[in-house]
Amino acid sequence: MCNAKKWYLRLKWPSHNKAVELTSLLMSAVFQDVHVMIFIGFGFLMTFLKRYGFSSVGVNLLLAAFGLQWGLLMQGLWHLEDGKIKVNILKIINADFSTATVLISFGAVLGKTSPVQLLIMTIMEITIFSINEHLVANVLEANDVGASMIIHAFGAYFGLAVARVLYRPGLKNGHDNDGSVYHSDLFAMIGTVFLWMFWPSFNSAIAEPGFTQLTAVINTYLSLAACVLSAYAISSLVEHRGKLDMVHIQNATLAGGVAVGTCADMNIGPFGAMLIGLVAGIVSTLGFKYLTPILASKLGIQDTCGVHNLHGMPGILGGLAGIVAVALGKKKGGDAAMQAAALASSLGFALVGGVVTGLIMKLPFWGQPPDQNCYDDSIYWEVPEEEEEHEESLAHADHSKNKAEV
């Protein structure tokens, strides 16, 4: 007769313990929401690129599937029980969380790396994430329930560091394929809206069940709602003739979810949550408009998706809000100095880890695409012919859309 308990940790599942069963049920629902954010949310958000949709969704799937297995291994080795790696719903949620860092960094270098380079980045980043996560959660014992610091800021600055190391002077003046078309912007909105809707689950996933978890859900919900308003307002204010920019609407409307992450389970109240969201929307939109071009031209950081504006700055904002909230006594047992240390740790590991990883990725063995083949699926995918009239147009006109054979 087989021993059913040998492989998986039951998350304390004696059938008389209803409180635990309720927790498990809720965690399963939360897991599913986080899973949708990782695979549909991130995957489709990056399909805005006119000729890189296959890679955006497809490589997202590859990195996340690979990353969650690596993440489970990492966590498992860290917490061996009887010399065995145990798997349960909480660990699966954490594995999805760890892949989020990779997908954020992927956004910074989107279109400019090969799948092999990204698989290496996955291994490195999840390992370094685990170290920082252990430090922040178990040593510093800082609060970061929605992971503004350990996932969003970490993933963004890690990716930006990699982007800096992999800087391409040849892309200084942009690239024809680095942009969207009408329907690719609509595909990206699928990602945006799914991320927006399920963020309350993301920020409450590891919160203490019960009232605290509910608090995280509602604070995130309100922060996101306020953020939408400021993102729309600023986008209209800064754009030519008051028009809205899809890049802002696809990304900056989510900044509130990132920025309230650290404080989500704290007693900041609806106005605190909405203030954080409002500020995040402003900062994010202004970042897309003014800062990203400066980062590229002055600092050599070419950030394809603008992750600095969605995950970087809002992540830091979340960390800072956490320091302030804890200092104001909004979290029982919190310590503002530990919050600050957690933020510093996350940024430190991200930057150093990103540079080291970037240097490894820069080795010439990994099939990095040349400049003219960036932002183009056709070097990694068999791409179907466009509609026949496109073929005729290619014959008629001089296009710089380059499908050079690799």
Of 286, 283, 281, nearest to 239 by C-alpha is: 286
In sequence order, what are the residues at sequence separation of 6 or more whose Cβ sits closer than 8 angstroms to the Cβ of residue 181?
50
Least distance from its own copies to the Cβ atom of residue 286, Å: 16
Least distance from its own copies to the Cβ atom of residue 265, Å: 10
* C-alpha 128, offset from chain centre: 16
Least distance from its own copies to the Cβ atom of residue 283, Å: 18
**Per-residue DSSP letters for 321-360?**
HHHHHHHTT-STT--HHHHHHHHHHHHHHHHHHHHHHHHH
Beta carbon nearer to its own copies, 108 or 249: 249
Least distance from its own copies to the Cβ atom of residue 157, Å: 27
**Per-residue DSSP letters for 112-148?**
SS-HHHHHHHHHHHHHHHHHHHHIIIIIS----TT-I
Least distance from its own copies to the Cβ atom of residue 8, Å: 6
Beta carbon nearer to its own copies, 187 or 375: 187
Least distance from its own copies to the Cβ atom of residue 215, Å: 6
Least distance from its own copies to the Cβ atom of residue 164, Å: 28
Beta carbon nearer to its own copies, 272 or 358: 272
Least distance from its own copies to the Cβ atom of residue 249, Å: 5
User: Distance (Å, rounded) from C-alpha 171 to C-alpha 345?
Assistant: 32
Beta carbon nearer to its own copies, 22 or 344: 22
What SS3 state is found at 240?
A: helix
Residue 20 CB neighbour total at 10 angstroms: 16
Beta carbon nearer to its own copies, 63 or 160: 63
Beta carbon nearer to its own copies, 157 or 375: 375
Distances (CA, A) of 404 to 371, 372, 374, 378: 11, 8, 11, 9
Beta carbon nearer to its own copies, 214 or 336: 214
- Contact between residue 309 and residue 291 where contact means Cβ atoms under 8 Å apart: yes
In sequence order, what are the residues at sequence separation of 6 or more whose Cβ sits closer than 8 angstroms to the Cβ of residue 195?
37, 41, 42, 45, 254, 257
In the chain, the amino acid numbered 49 is L
- Contact between residue 237 and residue 258 where contact means Cβ atoms under 8 Å apart: no
User: Distance (Å, rounded) from C-alpha 323 to C-alpha 304?
Assistant: 30
316-344 exposure pattern, b = at least 16 Cβ within 10 A, e = fewer: bbbbbbbbebbeeebbeebbbebbbbbbe
Least distance from its own copies to the Cβ atom of residue 134, Å: 22
The torsion region of residue 124 among left (phi > 0), alpha (psi -120 to 50) and beta comes to alpha
Beta carbon nearer to its own copies, 150 or 274: 274
Beta carbon nearer to its own copies, 8 or 359: 8
- For 312, which DSSP code? I
